[in-house]
Chain A
Amino acid sequence: MKNILKLGAVAAVGTLVLAGCAANEQTAEPTSGGATSETAVVETLSGTLNGSGASSMAAGQEAWIAAFQIANPGVTVNYDPTGSGTGRAQFFEGATSFTGSDSYFKDEELAGVFPSCVAETLPWEFPIWISPIAVIFNLDGISSLNMDGATVAGIFAGEITMWNDAAIAAANPGVTLPELSITAVHRSDESGTSKNFTDYLAAVAPDVWTVGAIEAWPAEYGGEGGQGTSGVVSAVTGGNGTIGYADASRAGDLGTVAVKVGSDYVAYSAEAAAAVVDASPLIEGRESFDLATKIDRNTTASGAYPIVLVSYLMGCNDYLDDEQAVLVRAWASFLVSEEGQQAAATSAGNAPISAALRAKAQAIIDAIQ
């Protein structure tokens, strides 16, 4: 009996605090609540938050949900890795409160309606997931090779077919390259990894890679297909003289390619991947809360690794349901926080976002109503 009373009291206090918070928002002065009530809110969050979208960040979402739900036992967060297109479509239908996507909103999408948001308000978006894509290869005794963009494009377009090709040898003095044919492995399923990788090839070597950024591999370029990241990695591992591209966290013991940026060769690393996002321009003509970024694959910024996959977190600036606004604020703040990014990096091996990007994202989150 005593326990039940206690429980009731806690629930009542929770409702009061939440109501107080909602009242604050109507006056549009979220800071007026003061520090004490802010912390109280965090402790008593409750409700369900539904999201869906990119499968690329599914592993990270799992880590985030686990950590967030431990800190906030009253909150249930669901993330359904349906794929970016389906995820955005569900957000447009109002089925989800937030979404994760490998590509930013298209202009025509922003012209549409968002049933979860207050009418006439646009959604925000910012990069939340930066994942370097490693070019992996399997050659006995060689763990790293230098290549410029045109060479990588030539290999994957089927024009460079031997490992001792002059273009590879010239960039790797001192390395004895075997006289072995190259088997280029690509994704047999449609994937954002392929799209970002070919976007890089098309940007740095447009006269070699002529088909642009694509998700489905063109038949005329040949090569070998593997299903999913695991399929590509196992094909590269199982063959000899194979080369492929995969999420860097899965590169394992395979050899990796350092690509030419400016006059240097840069190997993939978390810092190098985050650096290219900071060095890339935002899409022009977007609102201040829209951090859609055009990754500059031709960047010459030193220490930047241009083959990255960037996924966005998206949500409403002004939710119809104010309780969702409270939850999304707490959830998104956790995702961009150093702690959240580190939690994902530990379990999924992605690259944490930079401090500069974190500050910009947090400003957007603080304005969610």
Chain B
Amino acid sequence: MTATKPKAIRRLGDVIFANLAFFAGVSILATLATVAAFLFVQSIPAFTGPEIAAAEDGFWNYVFPFVFGTVYASIIALIIATPLAIGIALYISHFANRRFAQLLGYAVDLLAAIPSVVYGLWGILVLAPFLNPTFMWLNENLGWIPFFAGQVSATGRTMLTVGIVLAIMVLPIMAALIREVFLQTPRLHEEAALALGATRWEMIKMAVLPFGRTGIISAAMLGLGRSLGETMAVAMVLSPTAVINFAVLTSSNSNTIAANIALQFPEAGGNYSNLLIATGLVLFAITMVVNMIARWIISRRAEFSGAN
């Protein structure tokens, strides 16, 4: 019984701050739970109520083209955006001189500040007519590839245009995240590579990219999350039909879940609105699965990342 354990003094400020932090943390879970509960409860009448004309072949037949469209548009966006984002991040972090890199960084961040409705307007008024001749050319010369087959849209408001618009929208967040990760590359790794006689490209291949791999995956998943849920730009740009179509240059494109809700909800009555909310629940589930896969990939890759 010599000395009692020193007791931590709990000051008022500590208590307040600890509680504030606790509530901030819990509020995320609470919000998520409320949204999930809302989607779930509001979906039920779509299955129990009278039959809905739009979904006469059953709910899954109704929602599947939209699930396909959502995933397809996002994948196209990622295929375009990921290499671009890596390139931008590498240029800013390792190639450009400091002042220009800073300027470029600001410019990329500015892209993120443009509202999606503006991207939508730009998409239909500028990008779609601009791309249309290219689409015609692709169809004529590469039409044997199923993706470029079919009757080319006369207005350019196709899946590929939507993919490009989405790619531009997710680019800033991806580029910013990847740039931050690349900047974290340990100096020693880089200098060691250079000292062994590596060129700059070899140094990037050996030191920067392996280190940044998890960062690139996280960025891609963040971009995917954003493009899965993007509503306004898709609703404005895409010419939708309730079909599954792999061709990216035609007028018949699978709509995305979010855009379909935005288009149909204002005039939906009765349990048709519940049906739309049920499709929202499906989107919620897809986003969750995507995030879980991303977590899993990151945790599996962590040991190879070179960060340790």
**Chain A interfacial positions (CB closer than 8 Å to B):** 55, 82-86, 89, 181, 183, 185, 188-192, 215-217, 219, 222-227, 231, 234-235, 238-242
With CB as the reference atom, state the residue of chain A lying closest to B155: A239
A120 to B159, alpha carbons, bound, how many Å?
A: 55
0 or 1 for each of B28-52: is its CB under 8 Å from A? (1 = yes) = 0000000000000000000000000
A304 to B267, alpha carbons, bound, how many Å?
A: 29
- Interface check B197, CB cutoff 8 A: no
* A189 and B266 within 8 A (CB): yes
A238 to B121, alpha carbons, bound, how many Å?
A: 13
* B125 and A238 within 8 A (CB): yes
B238 to chain A, nearest CB (A): 8
The stretch from B79-87, B219-227, B239-247, B288-296 touching chain A is B239-247
- Interface check B263, CB cutoff 8 A: yes
- Interface check B54, CB cutoff 8 A: yes
* A183 and B155 within 8 A (CB): yes
* Residues in B whose Cβ lies below 8 Å from that of A192: 267
A228 to chain B, nearest CB (A): 9
* A224 and B264 within 8 A (CB): no
* B155 and A238 within 8 A (CB): yes
B155 to chain A, nearest CB (A): 4
- Interface check B210, CB cutoff 8 A: no
Given A234-B124, A234-B125, A188 and B240 contact (CB-CB distance below 8 Å): yes
Q: Can you list 13 residue pairs at the A/B interface with Cβ under 8 Å?
A: A55-B266, A84-B267, A85-B268, A181-B154, A188-B238, A190-B263, A224-B239, A226-B239, A227-B263, A231-B236, A234-B124, A238-B124, A238-B156
Given A190-B264, A219-B241, 13 further pairs, Cβ under 8 A: A85-B269, A89-B269, A181-B151, A183-B155, A185-B239, A189-B264, A190-B263, A190-B266, A190-B267, A224-B155, A234-B125, A238-B124, A241-B154
- Interface check B74, CB cutoff 8 A: no
* B125 and A215 within 8 A (CB): no
- Interface check B70, CB cutoff 8 A: no
Q: Among A84, A86, A239, A241, find the residue whose CB has the most chain B CB atoms closer than 10 A.
A: A239
Q: Which of A190, A222, A227, A240 contacts B268 (CB 8 A)?
A: A190
* B239 and A225 within 8 A (CB): yes
A22 to chain B, nearest CB (A): 37
- Interface check B213, CB cutoff 8 A: no
A223 to B239, alpha carbons, bound, how many Å?
A: 9
